[in-house]
Amino acid sequence: MIHNGIEQGMLGVLNEVWEMLFKCLHTNLDDLSKIFEGWAASGELKNNFLVSIGADICSQKKQDERGHILNEVQDKVVQDADNSEGTGVWTVMEAAKRHVSTPTIAASHFLRIASANRAERLKIFELVGGMISGAKKQHVDDQDRPGVIEDLRQAVYCGFLASYIQGMNLLSRANKDESWKIQLSEVVRIWRNGCIIRSDHIADLFQPIYQHNQELQNILTEKKVIEEIQRTYPSLKRTVQRGLEWDSHMPSLTASMEYLKYCGGRQLPTQFMEAQLDYFGAHSYDRKCEGPGTVKKGAHHHEWKPA
């Protein structure tokens, strides 16, 4: 189940970058196939299954060689909405139930759900009058294009990493809650051999970490993982900034970026939310002078508006 949740997050990230390459940068499908093939040949995305099959999909042509098969594929994923696929639903539900943040996985899942009813989407499109028109063709100077494409590659890896982190953190929480005694390093080893989320670089990063600490609850607290985030996050951020300007669809990319921002947030806006919760629900709060505290209800309440 969690394998398929990670898969959904990765699919979302890659399909959003595909749109930026194909629709915004106007890369033809044969060239796009070569880009993906190059990404899968070396570096952080080496032997990544989804990138590899992306190269195959972009290159496939009809028998008469007069067009690509991909251009005939409708933009709707129905496996969730028609109840023929349930693993994405279960992953999102488990994450909510176990209080584990999995926004990349959830955002990709909700994109799939929204995509299913194309007729409804077209009606909304007509009602908004083209104001939200989606990805637009952009002009990028030839000397800037390689840098933009490299940012996209790094953004894919960073988004894949975020999805994998979220899935493993969820599995680790369930492993602890249910006393399953799953060897997480062994899970990573199995997943690198012939599965849909196969990604050699991520497996090489994660497997020794879990071998050293099978009880690890949040792999984002590991220095080597943080170093990968620090190295690739700027490319993810630049990609999201471009995507906003280009009106491309980026729910999984933006969710990945925000996840990495708030998971290491020294000061979050939830300070104000906590005060509001105390105002209308007397939920109590911790005071800053008392340190970070633990994950439990605070000891302080204020009568914000005395009767």
The pLDDT tens digits of the residues spanning 24-57 come to 999 999 999 999 999 999 999 999 999 999 999 9
List the Cα angle 88/90/91 in 5-degree steps: 65
My answer on whether 75 and 169 are in the same domain is yes
My answer on whether 12 and 53 are in the same domain is yes
My answer on whether 275 and 213 are in the same domain is no
CATH code for the domain in which residue 192 is found: 1.10.1040.10
> How far, CA to CA in Å, does 133 sit from each of 87, 124, 140, 300?
31, 11, 20, 48
| Arithmetic mean of pLDDT over the chain | 95
Last residue of a domain, one of 227, 245, 263: 263
My answer on whether 131 and 94 are in the same domain is yes
Give percent of the chain above pLDDT 70. Answer: 100
How many Å apart are CA 92 and CA 105, to the nearest integer?
Answer: 7
My answer on whether 107 and 137 are in the same domain is yes
My answer on whether 44 and 116 are in the same domain is yes
My answer on whether 216 and 105 are in the same domain is yes
The pLDDT of 210-237, averaged and rounded, is: 98
My answer on whether 192 and 290 are in the same domain is no
My answer on whether 78 and 153 are in the same domain is yes
* Number of domain units in the chain: 2
DSSP string for the chain: -HHHHHHHHHHHHHHHHHHIIIIIS---HHHHHHHHHHHHHSGGGTT-HHHHHHHHHHH-B-TTSSSBGGGGS-S---TTTTTS--HHHHHHHHHHHTT---HHHHHHHHHHHHHH-HHHHHHHHHHTTTSS---------TTTHHHHHHHHHHHHHHHHHHHHHHHHHHHHHHHHHHT----HHHHHHHHTTTSTT--HHHHHHHHHHHHH-TT-S-GGGSHHHHHHHHHHHHHHHHHHHHHHHHT---HHHHHHHHHHHHHT-SS-THHHHHHHHHHHH---B--GGG-S--SS--SB---SS--
My answer on whether 14 and 119 are in the same domain is yes
My answer on whether 295 and 169 are in the same domain is no
Q: Are 12 and 181 in contact (CB under 8 A)?
A: no
My answer on whether 49 and 189 are in the same domain is yes
The pLDDT tens digits of the residues spanning 172-216 come to 999 999 999 999 999 999 998 879 999 999 999 999 999 999 999
Could you list the residue range(s) of the whole structural domain that residue 306 is in? 270-307
CB-neighbour burial class of residue 84 (10 A; exposed 0-12, middle 13-18, buried 19+): exposed
CATH code for the domain in which residue 287 is found: 1.20.5
Q: Check whether 81 has a pLDDT greater than 80.
A: yes
Q: Model-level pTM? A: 0.95
Query: Is the model more confident about 128 or about 227?
Result: 227
